Amino acid sequence: MRIVILGCGRTGAALARIMAAEGHRVTLIEWNNDSLERLGGKFTGAVITGNGLDEDVLKKAGIEQADMFVALTEGDNRNLMAAQIAKDRFHVPKVIAKVNDPIRAEAYRERGIYTICYSLIGSAMIRDLAYDRPLGSVEEYNVVPPELKD
């Protein structure tokens, strides 16, 4: 698979290393050179330094041929904008975005961007642990519970 990852934070770096080690063609986009240290010495993928909302940068990262695009920066809106560019502009078949605001995560998931909300997953998981309940599936955790809807 050809995978373009935006953002070399902890998640981006970990995903890049795992997928590259499994033989996929990974390209990582990051504008802060310091963050690239997280990749360690053995990363076999490519790195593009630049702004991931810039089409030229995305093209350089090979988004036109990508099978998957993952937006993992710190900014929810940044991830959502990048994901929409990947999906609507470059027609990448699989697009995933990290979104920390549960409501926004749901809003965009309903519109075809697969969003992963760590805050929802983490809090739902901890609740199950608190009650000593068996853990549920990520899919269950990744939806907004009624308590958070208002």
Partner 1 sequence: MYIIIVGAGNVGYYLAKTLLNAGHEVLLIERDKRRCELLRDEFGESVMRGRGDEIRTMREAGADRADIVVACTGDDEDNLIISQIAKWYFNVPRTVARINDPRNESIFQQLGIDATVSSTNIIYHLIEQEIEAGEVIPLAALKRGNIEIVDIELSTRSPVVGKRVQDLPLPPDALIVCIIRQENAMLPHGDTVLEANDSVIALVSAQNERQLRKVFAEEQYE
Q: Which residues bind partner 1 (CB under 8 A)?
A: 53-55, 75-78, 80-82, 84-85, 88-89, 101, 103-104, 107, 111, 150
Q: Tell me whether residue 100 or residue 123 sits nearer to partner 1 (CB atom).
A: 100
Say if CB 76 and CB 7 are below 8 A apart. no
Sign of CA dihedral 95, 99, 105, 108: negative
Nearest distance, CB of residue 9 and partner 1, angstroms: 16
Widest CA span of the chain, in angstroms? Answer: 50
Nearest distance, CB of residue 103 and partner 1, angstroms: 5
Say if CB 85 and CB 58 are below 8 A apart. yes
Q: Tell me whether residue 20 or residue 92 sits nearer to partner 1 (CB atom).
A: 92
Nearest distance, CB of residue 121 and partner 1, angstroms: 20
